[in-house]
């Protein structure tokens, strides 16, 4: 009689441990779910996240070619794209005006590594070197112009490249 009563009672501690385990599991899930919120305090870091952990360099002038604030002085070599927009460069490139020089440099700078890859002239907000993009800066070239230029370059390369075909080499 006694043992009959005793047996079902031994089951309840087991149920209790299952219940405790279930509660622990819920608590653990909640902790995991809410954990990232504790870690992500600085909102400012999100802008730098795209370009890694570079420090933003501030206080420089906007480069007319790449649109990043990376010029110590107007006409100087850009710390970001490496181009300088000045009269000397313009004359060296045999161009009639500064605008044409900027366009020529932009065609080179914004050329994607693969033909037809969409170009975002205003991204990333911070260059990999740490220069911030001037939000009010606008490019002088269109995406389609860059693509056309790249296509033209590739065609030119293909026309000049084949070293095997002696025809094109002899013509020159
Ligand atoms: Zn630049």
Q: Compute, in angstroms, the gap from residue 36 CA to the centroid of ligand 1.
A: 37
Provide Rg for the chain, Cα atoms: 32
pTM given for the model? 0.64
Task: Find tokens 């000049």 and name the residue.
Answer: 160
Cα 129 from chain centroid (whole Å)? 11
Rounded CA-CA distance 14/93 in Å is 85
Q: Compute, in angstroms, the gap from residue 165 CA to the centroid of ligand 1.
A: 40
Q: Which residue has the higher pLDDT, 142 or 47?
A: 142
- The answer to whether residues 63 and 106 touch, using CB atoms and an 8 Å cutoff, is no
pLDDT tens digit sequence for 63-121: 999 999 999 999 999 999 999 999 999 999 999 999 999 999 999 999 999 988 999 99
Task: Find tokens 């500064």 and name the residue.
Answer: 98
Percent pLDDT > 90 in the chain is: 60
Q: Which residue has the higher pLDDT, 22 or 40?
A: 22
By the CB criterion, residues less than 5 angstroms from ion ligand 1 are 63, 65-66, 78, 80-81
Q: Using N-to-C axis directions, what is the helix angle for 98-109 and 143-160, rounded to 10°?
A: 70
Reduce the DSSP state of residue 77 to 3 states and report it.
strand
Q: Compute, in angstroms, the gap from residue 80 CA to the centroid of ligand 1.
A: 5
Mean pLDDT of the chain: 82
pLDDT tens digit sequence for 58-70: 999 999 999 999 9
Sign of the torsion formed by the C-alpha atoms of 51, 113, 67 and 80: positive
Task: Find tokens 């907000």 and name the residue.
Answer: 125
Q: Compute, in angstroms, the gap from residue 79 CA to the centroid of ligand 1.
A: 7
Q: Compute, in angstroms, the gap from residue 92 CA to the centroid of ligand 1.
A: 19
pLDDT tier, 14 (very low <50, low <70, confident <90, very high otherwise): confident
Q: Give the total residue count for the chain.
A: 172
């Amino acid at each position: 009689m006694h043992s009959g009563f005793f047996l079902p009672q031994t089951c309840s501690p087991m149920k209790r441990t299952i219940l405790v385990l279930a509660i622990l599991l819920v608590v653990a899930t909640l902790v995991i779910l809410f954990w990232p919120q504790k870690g992500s305090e600085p909102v400012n870091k999100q802008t730098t996240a795209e370009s890694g952990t570079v420090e933003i360099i501030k206080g420089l002038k906007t480069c007319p070619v790449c649109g990043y604030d990376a010029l110590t002085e107007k006409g100087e070599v850009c710390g970001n794209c490496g181009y300088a927009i000045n009269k000397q460069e313009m004359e060296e490139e045999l161009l009639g005006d500064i605008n044409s020089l900027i366009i020529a440099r932009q065609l080179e700078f914004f050329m994607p590594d693969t033909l037809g890859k969409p170009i975002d002239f205003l991204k990333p907000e911070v260059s990999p070197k740490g220069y911030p993009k001037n939000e009010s800066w606008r490019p002088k070239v269109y995406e389609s112009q860059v693509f056309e230029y790249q296509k033209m370059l590739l065609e030119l390369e293909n026309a000049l490249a084949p070293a095997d075909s002696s025809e094109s080499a002899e013509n020159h």
